[in-house]
Chains A and B, each alone.
Chain A
Amino acid sequence: MADHLLDVKDLSTYFFTHAGVVKAVNGVSFTLERNETIGIVGESGSGKTVAAMSLLGLIPDPPGKVVGGTLMLDQRDLRTLSDEEMRAVRGNDIAMIFQDPMTSLNPVMKVGKQVAEAIVLHQKKSNSEARRMAIAALARVGIPDAPRRAEQYPFEFSGGMRQRVMIAMAVSSNPDVLIADEPTTALDVTIQAQIIDVIREMQFEFNSGVILITHDLGVIAEIADKVMVMYGGRTVEYAPIDEIFYNAHHPYTWGLLSSLPRLDASKKVRLTPIEGQPPNLLFLPEGCPFVGRCPHELPQCRGEWPAEETVAPAHGVHCWIPVDQRLALRAELPHFKEPAA
C-alpha cells in the first residue's frame, strides 16, 4: 500500500435521530498527498461537511457517529485515538476553515488572542511569544497593520478580512491537512479570488494537503488537483481535475457541468438545471441516490449501489449505465457538444 498523507477508506457517518437513521456519509474513500488539493463537490446535504467534520472528530455524538471506515493520517488511524489525542490533532495536524467568517469568530475576543490561543495550545509557547507569532501569522495572510489589527475585535473586520483571520488561525500550527469548507461562499466575488490565493500560498508555504469543500466548480477548476463528486452521502465520481471537466462519466457530474455558464458557448445554449430536489437522507434508496432525478435511470439503479468502475487512470465512477451508452448519452448533451461543433 502506497503511503499517503491522508488515506480515508469507506468512511461512513450516520445520525441516529428520532425519525430514523440519516446516512449522511456512506462509504466514502479518498487519498490526499502533501501539496495536493482535493475538491469535494456536491449540493447542500450531500455529506461534504459531515465528511470533513468526521475527520476532525467533531461529529456531535449523540446523535451522530462515525460508524465505519479507517481514517489514516500519517499511519495513524484517527478513529482509534482517544479524545485527548484527537484534541492534539485538531488545529495542529488537521485544521479547518469554515464557511461563514461573520459568525465563525468569537465576537468578544480580540482576533490576535483567538489566533494566539491555538499557538499556545499546540506549540507550547508563552503568551507573549504566541502573541508575536499570531501577529506574524496575521501579516502573512495579508492583513495590513497586523500589530494594531490584532488588538481589534471581529466586528471591526470585513468579511474577507475575517476569513483571512480564520486562515491565519488554521495555519498557525503548520497543519498537515487544511480543510476549507466553502471558504468563499459568504464572500464577494472579488474577495473570493484573494482568499483562494491566500489558501494556495499557505499550502505552498507549509506543504499541506488541502481539502476544499465547495459547490462551486469554478473554484475547483482554479485550485484542485483532483475532484470527488458527492451525492446523497456517496461518492459518485472521483477523478483528476481535467478528467472531471472534459471526461465526466456520471450523469450527476454532467448535471453540475451543464448548470455552469461557459464563456466559449454560443448564446443560444441555455444553462440546464438539475431537475428535482436533493434526496431526503432519511429515505435514501438502496441503490444510487441519484435515482428519481437522473434522466437516464435504468431499472437496476434502484436495486443496488454500483461498484466502482475505473474509466481512466485514477478516475472512478459509480454508475449502472454501460460505459459505451454513457459516452453516447454524453455526446448528446449541449454542454459537451460545444465548442467542438
Chain B
Amino acid sequence: MTSYIIRRLLQLVLVLFGVTLITFSMLKLVPGDPAVALAGKGASPDRIAYVRHERGLDRPFYVQYYKYVERLAHGDLGNSLYSGRPVAELIREAAPVTIQLAIAAVLIELLGIPLGVYSALRQYSFWDTTLTTGALIIWGIPVFVLGYFAMYIFGLKLNWFPIGGAGPMILWVVPAGFQSLKTLVLPALTLGLIEVAYISYMQRASMLEVIRSDFIRTARAKGLSERQVIWGHGFKNAVIPVMTIAGIDLGALIGGAIITETVFNRPGVGLMIYTAINQRDIAVIAGGVLFATFFFIFANLLVDLGYAWVDPRVRLED
C-alpha cells in the first residue's frame, strides 16, 4: 500500500508539470504583446524594450516557464489585469465557497449508492421503475435549467431559501449558522441531485451484474443468509466500479460548480472564472484553471487510494 501511494504521488508530479505548462502557454498565447500593455499607452519603443527586458519577456520560453513555476511555488499567481489584486488572494477568498459546495454535492451524491442498491435488489418493482425513470429524467436536465427551476420554486415562490450568495463560514468550509447553511441548500441540491441520479443509475447496473455472478451463487450455496450474501459479498464488489465512475465524475462536478455558482451568484472560484472570462482577465482565468485542476487531481488521488483500499487487485498491479 505504501509503495502504491508513493507511486501515485510521483505520477502527480508529472501531471502538475503538464498542467502548469498548459496554463503558462495560455498566458503566452493570448494575442497582443504584454510588454506593450505593461509599458502603458503611447510609450516609446525604448520604453517598451526596457519593460520587455526588465520583465524577462525577451528570455527563452523555457526560462520564462521556469520563472513562472518558481513564482507558483511561492504562491504567486500574478495579478488580475482588471483589478490589479493578486490572483492568489482572489482564489483564497473564493476557494472555500467552491469547496464547500463541492463537498456538499459529494455528500448528496453518496445517497445514490443506497438508492441504486435498493433499486437493484427490487428490480422491476414499482420503486425501482420510479427511481430509475426519475434518475434518467434528472440526469438529462442541464445544471443551469435545474438551478433556475429550483431558484424559482424554492427561492422566489415558496421563499424557503435565499436565491444566491454565500454565508460566512467557520473552520474554512463549514457554514457558520443556519442562515449560512440556507444559502448552500439550493446550489448543493442542484449540483448534487444530478450526481445522485448518475451514481444511483450506475450503482444499480453494477449491483445487478454482481448479484448474477458466480461467486454470489457460491455464497448462497454456502448457506449464507440473503443479507450476508448481498452485503458481505455483493456490495463491496458492486461499489468498486461506481467509485471509479464517481472519481472521474469529479471533473464534471467542478464544471458543474462553475455553472451552479454563476446561476446562484455564489462568489466562488467558478463565478470568479466566469467573470474573468467576460473581462478577458487572462491571469485570473489561468489561476482559476490551475486551482480547479489541483482540486481535481487531489480528489482523484483520494479516490484512487480509496479504490486500492477496497480492491486488493489494484494494490499489486504495476
Partner of A104, one of B214, B223, B224, B311: B214
Report whether A108 and B225 are in contact in the complex, using a CB–CB cutoff of 8 Å: no
Report whether A90 and B219 are in contact in the complex, using a CB–CB cutoff of 8 Å: no
Kindly supply a per-residue 1/0 record for chain A positions 134-158, scoring 1 wherever the CB is within 8 Å of any chain B CB and 0 otherwise: 0000000000000000000101000
A95 at the interface (CB under 8 A from B): yes
Known: A98-B217, A100-B214, A104-B218. A153 touches B223 (CB 8 A): no
Q: Considering only CB atoms and an 8 Å cut-off, how many residues of chain A contact the other chain? A: 27
Partner of B223, one of A89, A106, A107: A89
Determine how close the nearest CB of chain A comes to the CB of B22; give it in whole angstroms.
37
Please report which residues of chain A, range 34-66, place their CB below 8 angstroms from some CB of chain B when the two chains form the complex. 56, 58
Report whether B215 and A103 are in contact in the complex, using a CB–CB cutoff of 8 Å: yes
Partner of B222, one of A107, A108, A118: A118
In Å, the complex CA distance between A98 and B233 comes to: 17
Report whether B218 and A121 are in contact in the complex, using a CB–CB cutoff of 8 Å: no
Please report which residues of chain B, range 277-318, place their CB below 8 angstroms from some CB of chain A when the two chains form the complex. 310-313
B182 at the interface (CB under 8 A from A): no
Report whether B237 and A107 are in contact in the complex, using a CB–CB cutoff of 8 Å: yes
A24 at the interface (CB under 8 A from B): no
Determine how close the nearest CB of chain B comes to the CB of A271; give it in whole angstroms.
32
Report whether A96 and B221 are in contact in the complex, using a CB–CB cutoff of 8 Å: yes
In Å, the complex CA distance between A323 and B269 comes to: 89
What residues on A are CB-neighbors of B133 within 8 Å?
none
Determine how close the nearest CB of chain B comes to the CB of A335; give it in whole angstroms.
36
What residues on A are CB-neighbors of B28 within 8 Å?
none
Determine how close the nearest CB of chain B comes to the CB of A48; give it in whole angstroms.
15
What residues on B are CB-neighbors of A213 within 8 Å?
none
Smallest Cβ-Cβ distance to A122: which chain B residue: B223
Kindly supply a per-residue 1/0 record for chain A positions 81-121, scoring 1 wherever the CB is within 8 Å of any chain B CB and 0 otherwise: 00000011111100110101001111111000000011001
Known: A90-B222, A118-B222. A107 touches B217 (CB 8 A): no
What residues on B are CB-neighbors of A229 within 8 Å?
none
In Å, the complex CA distance between A106 and B213 comes to: 10
Known: A106-B233, A108-B312, A153-B312. A117 touches B218 (CB 8 A): no
Report whether B215 and A117 are in contact in the complex, using a CB–CB cutoff of 8 Å: no
Report whether A108 and B311 are in contact in the complex, using a CB–CB cutoff of 8 Å: yes
B236 at the interface (CB under 8 A from A): yes
Determine how close the nearest CB of chain A comes to the CB of B312; give it in whole angstroms.
5
Interface of B, helix, strand, loop or mixed by DSSP: helix
What residues on B are CB-neighbors of A88 within 8 Å?
223
Report whether B221 and A107 are in contact in the complex, using a CB–CB cutoff of 8 Å: no
Report whether B220 and A105 are in contact in the complex, using a CB–CB cutoff of 8 Å: no
Known: A107-B313, A108-B312, A155-B313. A91 touches B215 (CB 8 A): no
In Å, the complex CA distance between A90 and B219 comes to: 10
Smallest Cβ-Cβ distance to A110: which chain B residue: B312
Q: Considering only CB atoms and an 8 Å cut-off, how many residues of chain B contact the other chain? A: 21
Determine how close the nearest CB of chain B comes to the CB of A93; give it in whole angstroms.
9
Report whether B215 and A121 are in contact in the complex, using a CB–CB cutoff of 8 Å: no
Report whether A104 and B312 are in contact in the complex, using a CB–CB cutoff of 8 Å: no
Smallest Cβ-Cβ distance to A101: which chain B residue: B214
Known: A103-B214, A105-B215. A90 touches B221 (CB 8 A): yes
Determine how close the nearest CB of chain A comes to the CB of B65; give it in whole angstroms.
44
Report whether B220 and A58 are in contact in the complex, using a CB–CB cutoff of 8 Å: yes
Partner of A56, one of B215, B221, B225, B236: B221
A257 at the interface (CB under 8 A from B): no
A28 at the interface (CB under 8 A from B): no
Smallest Cβ-Cβ distance to B213: which chain A residue: A103
A8 at the interface (CB under 8 A from B): no
Smallest Cβ-Cβ distance to A88: which chain B residue: B223
What residues on B are CB-neighbors of A100 within 8 Å?
214
In Å, the complex CA distance between A92 and B313 comes to: 31
Partner of B214, one of A98, A108, A118, A121: A98
Report whether B220 and A106 are in contact in the complex, using a CB–CB cutoff of 8 Å: no
Partner of B225, one of A87, A92, A103, A153: A87
Please report which residues of chain B, range 210-254, place their CB below 8 angstroms from some CB of chain A when the two chains form the complex. 213-215, 217-225, 232-233, 236-237, 240
Smallest Cβ-Cβ distance to B311: which chain A residue: A108
A169 at the interface (CB under 8 A from B): yes
Partner of A121, one of B223, B240, B310: B223
Report whether A106 and B313 are in contact in the complex, using a CB–CB cutoff of 8 Å: no
What residues on A are CB-neighbors of B313 within 8 Å?
107-108, 153, 155
Report whether B218 and A166 are in contact in the complex, using a CB–CB cutoff of 8 Å: yes
What residues on A are CB-neighbors of B311 within 8 Å?
108
Known: A100-B214, A103-B215, A155-B313. A108 touches B236 (CB 8 A): yes
What residues on A are CB-neighbors of B218 within 8 Å?
98, 104-106, 166, 169
Partner of A87, one of B215, B223, B310, B312: B223
What residues on A are CB-neighbors of B224 within 8 Å?
87, 91, 117, 121
Report whether A117 and B222 are in contact in the complex, using a CB–CB cutoff of 8 Å: yes
What residues on A are CB-neighbors of B220 within 8 Å?
58, 90
A residues apposed to B, CB below 8 Å: 56, 58, 87-92, 95-96, 98, 100, 103-109, 117-118, 121-122, 153, 155, 166, 169
Task: Name 12 interchain pairs, CB-CB below 8 A, sorted by A.
Answer: A56-B221, A91-B222, A92-B223, A98-B214, A103-B213, A105-B215, A106-B215, A107-B237, A117-B232, A155-B313, A166-B218, A169-B222
Known: A90-B223, A91-B224, A121-B224. 19 other contacts (CB 8 A): A56-B221, A87-B223, A87-B224, A89-B223, A90-B222, A91-B222, A95-B221, A98-B217, A104-B214, A104-B215, A105-B215, A106-B218, A107-B237, A108-B313, A109-B236, A117-B232, A118-B222, A118-B223, A155-B313
